Amino acid sequence: MDTRENGFYAHPTAVLDEGCRVGQGTRIWHFCHLMPGCVIGERCSLGQNVFVAGGVELGNNVKVQNNVSLYTGVICEDDVFLGPSMVFTNVINPRSAVVRREEYASTRVRRGATIGANATILCGNEIGEWAFVAAGSVVTHPVPDFALVMGSPARQAGWMSAHGHRLHFDVSGKAVCQGSGERYILKDGKVSKEE
């Protein structure tokens, strides 16, 4: 596959199987392997030693750091960040002697979410928009939009802005992002940007 002709860059050591789709401006680094049927959006970056299985979908501007495996069932929307050596699973109860390909569970990572280094995401869970999973966390349940979760198992420890700063809400349920100046509202246990 001539990557220059297709508008993206792949290091010579990367293996791009026939039938994978890669968007314009994407950069694929050393020792990556993309399987047939995966879809990589525009302006993505896949660090060294990234594996992408068939059926995986990455939106635009997704950053995948070194040593990440994306297994069938993983869908990442635009602007997602996947930290070094973080882990996705796709079967709840794997056994070497039992074939469970028909039981793969889907995991969706919503727009703008961050998953920190060495975190583990158990399959079947959704990571909300702009959520932030701290490094080393083990996610065993869905994560709400803008939530900061940490620990093993991961528990909510606060809220994060779309700019990546911790939000501190006042008694009226309002907060301002220290990085962007954007305003947020906490109402009924949910965070949203102020219109």
pTM for the structure as a whole: 0.95
Domains in the chain, CATH or no CATH each: 3-163 (2.160.10.10), 164-195 (2.20.70)
Contact 119, 113 (CB under 8 A): no
Render each residue's pLDDT in the chain as its tens digit; 195 residues: 445 567 999 999 999 999 999 999 999 999 999 999 999 999 999 999 999 999 999 999 999 999 999 999 999 999 999 999 999 999 999 999 999 989 999 999 999 999 999 999 999 999 999 999 999 999 999 999 999 999 999 999 999 999 999 999 999 999 999 999 999 999 999 999 998
**Peptide bond just before 153 cis, omega within 30 deg:** yes
Angstrom distance (rounded) from CA 48 to CA 1? 19
Angstrom distance (rounded) from CA 119 to CA 137? 5
Angstrom distance (rounded) from CA 158 to CA 47? 29
- pLDDT score for 1: 47
- pLDDT score for 4: 56
- pLDDT score for 177: 98
- pLDDT score for 195: 84
